[in-house]
Structure 1
Amino acid sequence: MSFFNKVFASVGIGSAKADTRLLDVNVRAGEEVKGIVGVTGGKTEQEISEIYLSVMTVYVKEADDKKYSQQAEIAKIKINEPFVIMPNEHKEIPFNFLLPEDTPVTYGQSKVWIHTGLDIKNAVDPSDQDAIHVHPGRLQQELFNALGELGFQMRKAENEAAPATLSKRLPFVQEFEFYPYEGPFRGKLDELEIVFTNIRKDRAELVMEIDRKAKGFSGLFSEMLEMDETAVRLSITDRDLPQLKAQLQQIIQRYS
């Protein structure tokens, strides 16, 4: 390899390229993601130290009365051992990994993508980005189904910077906003907000904020002071599923 080719490779000119192909872009949180990373060599021989996949999302952070978009890495997975790729050579590396249970659901403003990067010795790292559609995990879906049976419909979902009281592994939480469009709580509640604080395969912990509808002057006064909101902590396991709808109805009825 000539001196000029070495210089070009060191600044990323003519370097290898990565392209990730997913078996299915529809994925459920907690389940397996499968695909292939295709690597095509550039104009020079190069050593690929590492291929990594980062599961990424964006959340809203507020500071000085302004809102900012911030990226967050949910998981980072290394999928290879070091290898050398020759000029114009093509290699395909299959991969599979479990999507973390706390990956945000891609509803509303919540977006999730997989960032593929190559760690190339003495070169600018090429990268690739692939959006995925993340569906609720099993226990999340059971909760959403129960709320739907009670007449609630999801209106909004957004990732927001986590307050200190809810801060866990990730710097944000996903907030789901529901409104009662029919059923026993229509006209009684303004909205219902759900934040999952901890999600595992066998347990989901959450905070449910019940926003009562203002009734008369006293109700309006309470609403102005945000006294019409009640936060309830819940924990759901498989044992709760048969009675989940009744349990939710009883809790919401108590505070509505």
Structure 2
Amino acid sequence: MFKKLLASIGVGGAKVDTQLDNPRLRPGDMLTGRVVVQGGNADQDIDKIELVLMVEAEQESGDHEVRGALPLGSILVSQRFTVKAGETRQFPFQLQLPAETPINALAHYGRPLAVWIHTDLAIASAVDASDRDLLEVHPTAQVAALLAAFEQLGWGLYSTDVEVGTARIGNVASTLGCYQEMELKPRGGNFRIQEIELTFLPWGNETHVLIEVDSRFGGDFYRSLAMGPDFAGRNWADELRRQLPL
């Protein structure tokens, strides 16, 4: 009886460990792994196991921005069950990353962008146990191609962050409650443009790109382009030269 009481308040209770098969992946890929639950000193009722895809996002608060954890999606790994004292239970899972999952495996000078899996082990009548596993989200082929084109023209990635809100490019809108911005700066300086910000929105078999240009002398402006299934055969450096005063 005393052991059960200790378990109910989190002393000697169940532990959770989420083991990822492929923590290095791209938006749209399938994340696989297993959640391992190790029983404590007494039998324990678990209400559920849930995995939540999280990102660190910025939101305006008054005259400044506040960073916080924002959920992008979740899956239920297990419903209610009992883990016996000393027992080990494994629960395999598959979680497809949304196509708009922010990308953080990019070299830049800004603050690292955290994307992770939060494991929630909901324990009946007790404080929940949790686990956090970082993901390394690499760029899609479309994002890599456009960044390479900017690099060819002398523009490198300086920083990237995620903003709470909705981005729109024509009739296409972001769907996760947030969107990623990638800030580019000219290598060696640029007389006319101070910085460029990119937002990528995948939509069906296309990737739409919003380009925000910050002019040194005012008159900031936007451009947009669509990268279709034939994107790999196009010269994006030439396309950028046609659209921007680079």
* Letter of the structure 2 residue corresponding to residue 249 of structure 1: R
1:181 matched to 2:187? The reply is: yes
CA distance in 2, matches of 1:123, 1:5: 14
CA distance in 2, matches of 1:94, 1:192: 42
Query: Rg larger in 1 or in 2?
Result: 1
Q: Which residue of 2 aligns with 1:130?
A: 133
CA distance in 1, matches of 2:23, 2:207: 24
TM-superposed CA distance for 1:163, in Å, is: 5.8
Contact 1:139/1:203 (<8 A) preserved: no
Q: What is the TM-score of this pair, normalised by structure 1?
A: 0.82
CA distance in 2, matches of 1:49, 1:201: 37
Q: Which residue of 1 aligns with 2:229?
A: 238
Q: Over aligned residues, Cα RMSD in angstroms? A: 2.4
Q: Which residue of 2 aligns with 1:218?
A: none
From 151, 154, 165, the equivalent of 2:154 is 151
1:8 matched to 2:6? The reply is: yes
Q: What is the TM-score of this pair, normalised by structure 2?
A: 0.85
Contact 1:143/1:244 (<8 A) preserved: no
Q: Which residue of 2 aligns with 1:193?
A: 197
CA distance in 2, matches of 1:146, 1:163: 26
TM-superposed CA distance for 1:33, in Å, is: 1.3
Where structure 2 has 5 or more consecutive residues not aligned to the other structure, the ranges are none
Contact 2:42/2:84 (<8 A) preserved: yes
Q: Which residue of 2 aligns with 1:42?
A: 40
**Gap change, CA 1:201 and 1:33, over 3 Å in 2:** farther
Contact 1:158/1:174 (<8 A) preserved: yes
Matches within 5 A, 1:40-189: 40-106=38-104, 107=106, 108-109=110-111, 110-162=113-165, 168-181=174-187, 186-189=190-193
SS of match in other structure, 1:146: helix
Aligned length: 237
Q: Which residue of 2 aligns with 1:219?
A: none
CA distance in 2, matches of 1:164, 1:180: 24
CA distance in 1, matches of 2:82, 2:20: 24
**Gap change, CA 1:153 and 1:189, over 3 Å in 2:** same
Deviation track 1:171-230 (CA, whole Å, cap 9, x = no partner) reads 322110112327xx954432211012x324622222101233x4xxxxxxxx3xx32x11
1:248 matched to 2:211? The reply is: no
1:29 matched to 2:27? The reply is: yes
CA distance in 1, matches of 2:143, 2:74: 24
TM-superposed CA distance for 1:67, in Å, is: 2.2
TM-superposed CA distance for 1:45, in Å, is: 0.9
**Gap change, CA 1:66 and 1:180, over 3 Å in 2:** closer
Q: State percent identity of aligned pairs.
A: 29
* Letter of the structure 1 residue corresponding to residue 29 of structure 2: E
SS of match in other structure, 2:10: coil
CA distance in 2, matches of 1:123, 1:203: 47
* Letter of the structure 2 residue corresponding to residue 251 of structure 1: Q
